[in-house]
Every structure is written in C-alpha cells, then in structure tokens.
Homo-oligomer: A and B are copies of this chain.
Amino acid sequence: MVVGQTRRRGDVLVGAIYAAVLDELAESGYAGLSIERVAERAQTGKASIYRRWPSRLELALDTIDHTLPQLDELPDTGSTRDDVLIVMERIASVMRSPSGDAVRACFSPGADRELADAVRERLLAPRKAAMLEILRRGVARGEVRADAISARIAELGPTLLHGELLHRGQLTDDAVVEIVDEVVLPLLRRR
C-alpha cells in the first residue's frame, strides 16, 4: 500500500494496472512482460490481476485496447494537405508515447502472433480506413488522383513515421511535415 490506508477498486484500479502494463511493455517488450512486475508497478497484488485476466496475452490486448487514444473525428478542412498533416501528427504523437512502444512490442519477434493479428485488426485497420476516407474526399475535390485510393498508399504515411523512428530513434514535428510534403503528397497528385 502506498498512501495511508487507501485501497483502490474497480475502474481506478484497472486503470492503474493498464498504466503499469503499458510501461512494462514499453520497457521490456512482450516477451519480458511479467505479471509480478506489473503488480509491483501498479502497487497491487498479483491476485487482483489474475482475478480479471486469464493470461498475459489478454492483459496486453485489453491494455492496448483501452489505452490508445480514441480515433478523433476525421479532420475535414477542405485541403488534403491539411487533413493528412493533422492525421499524421496525431499518429506521430501516439507513436512517440509509451503506447507506441507497447504497440511496437506486439509486432516484434518473440511476441504472440495472435496478439499481433488482434492489434492489426482492432487498431491499425480503423486508422487505415480513416486515411482512405481523407483520400476519397481529396479525389472528390479533384486534388487527388483516383487510383491513389489503395491500401498501400493509405499505409504509406504511417509506415514512414515508423521507419523514421526506427532509423533515427526519434520523430520530430519537422520530420512529419517533410514526410508529408516530400513523399506522401507528391504521390497523391496527378502526374
């Protein structure tokens, strides 16, 4: 117990556990995620964790599900560049956070395939759909060529943000703007 005689229950406790899992995932990866350390970090007992989740996998999955920022409503500024930039900056800020590390941990060798698949579907897919919708609006406006509507193009931006983080170890706002202006947008325009 940490402070005086306080004893947390329900959502407050669950929230603290999520936070601990997130930090552990970011720090040690999925292979190194131990219930024991999660409990210690969240200042609770292992029993309170085992009571709620049957396995490490469920715990990790639930944590990511409940921790990632909700998808805000799509920007619709009337400018494809602005829309893309806004979405890319949102994605970048998640990638820079512990949540980003946690997600990356799910895709590394040593992690569970099931976990990776679940994260792909529940998490990456909706974000990809958002990007496609922005592209569609751009096509309607005549700013974007019609055959830019493809999975590969929708993934391009996020993929490059990820690559930037891997190659340089950091992801600055300037880099986000450069990626959008020098790579993503040129590929959207008519040739």
A interface residues (Cβ-Cβ under 8 A, vs B): 25-32, 101-102, 104-105, 107-111, 116-117, 120, 124, 152, 155-156, 159-160, 162-163, 166-167, 169, 178-179, 182-183, 186-187, 191
Contact = CB atoms under 8 A, between A and B. Distances in A.
Q: What secondary structure prevails in chain A residues at the interface with B?
A: helix
Contacts of A109: 25-29, 101-102, 104-105, 108
A167 B155 contact: yes
B28 A110 contact: yes
Given A105-B108, A152-B183, A162-B163, 8 more contacts: A28-B109, A101-B109, A104-B108, A105-B109, A155-B167, A156-B160, A159-B159, A183-B187
